[in-house]
Amino acid sequence: MKLRRGRHGLHLFDRASGINILFDEVQVPEVEYHLAPRYASFALTNACELKCPYCYAPKSPARLAARQVTAWAAELAANGCLGVGFGGGEPTAHPEFAEICEQVSSSTDLAVGVTTHGHRFGAELAERLRGHIHFIRISVDGVGSTYERLRGRSYADLVSRLETIASIAPFGLNVVVNEETLGDLDGVYRLAVSKGASEVLLLPEQPVGGRGGIGAEAEMALAAWVAAERREIPLTISEATIPDGIPTSDPFAGEPTLEGHAHVNAFGMLAEHAYATETVEIGASLIDALEELSRGVAVR
């Protein structure tokens, strides 16, 4: 198991099983804190063949070089990071997506995850990724006609690909929650349970691209939906988007954002998360960029 030292104690993590153990009674001297965040996400490319109206990804063409990603991942691993997640855009649209996953998985001790629309997952890609991906997040945003209207792809095709996806690694379903998708939450949850998903991740829509984000009434309805008992699989929610009224369990309460997570966009800029507007150029060292960003965040 990988050991991480931080302000909340000693954190043990096993990427193969996903087990996390936190010894929060252990007081770690600040000088021994690991420098990298627990988790880092990478937008490998802004390219995506879907045109979801609430997508936050920039529409300007951009793509990270595979050698940059693997070098930054190695630096993160050496400084206490536990896992990386590849997204976009659509990460499988990156011409070297499989090679990046293989390299990072083989050359570091990082857990490798991916967030994807899932429609490119055929037998050939599955074979290349098997053993090199530790968790897959499938963006769903509704079922049936809602899914097809918002995402412009066949819902039946998505469902048929979940069996292939499940053969690669554990997976979860993501749903952007807004007035259009709120009524489909039960359907998304039932799909997740029926296909053996590990969790459902709720993503309240953020105000990007001229859209106002999730409204107050929809937030209240989401909180009521979450409060209903659902015990088959867990519900999770994006830390950057938690509406009022939704209870959460956070073993790292009070932690500075950049100790828990950092995001690299497809232009090679570092930010707190994918929605953040304050960025710094990474350059030769991701850890140096992280320290620069931390100083900027601290003086806001």
Q: 34-298 falls under which CATH superfamily?
A: Aldolase class I (3.20.20.70)
User: What average pLDDT does this structure show over 192-214?
Assistant: 89
In the DSSP assignment, the letter for residue 63 is B
Residue ranges per structural domain of the chain: 1-33, 34-298
Question: Is the distance from CB of 195 to CB of 182 less than 8 angstroms?
Answer: no
- Order of strands, sheet of 83-87, starting from the edge strand that comes earlier in the sequence: 235-237, 200-204, 171-177, 135-139, 111-116, 83-87, 39-43, 261-264, 269-271, 280-281
Higher pLDDT, 30 or 207: 30
CB atoms closer than 10 angstroms to residue 76 = 28
* Confidence grade of residue 58 (pLDDT, cut at 50, 70, 90): confident
Largest CA distance in the chain: 54
Helix/strand/coil for 19 = strand
> What is the pLDDT at residue 155?
97
Q: Write down the pTM of the prediction.
A: 0.93
> What is the pLDDT at residue 227?
87
> What is the pLDDT at residue 55?
85
CA distance 196 to 163: 9
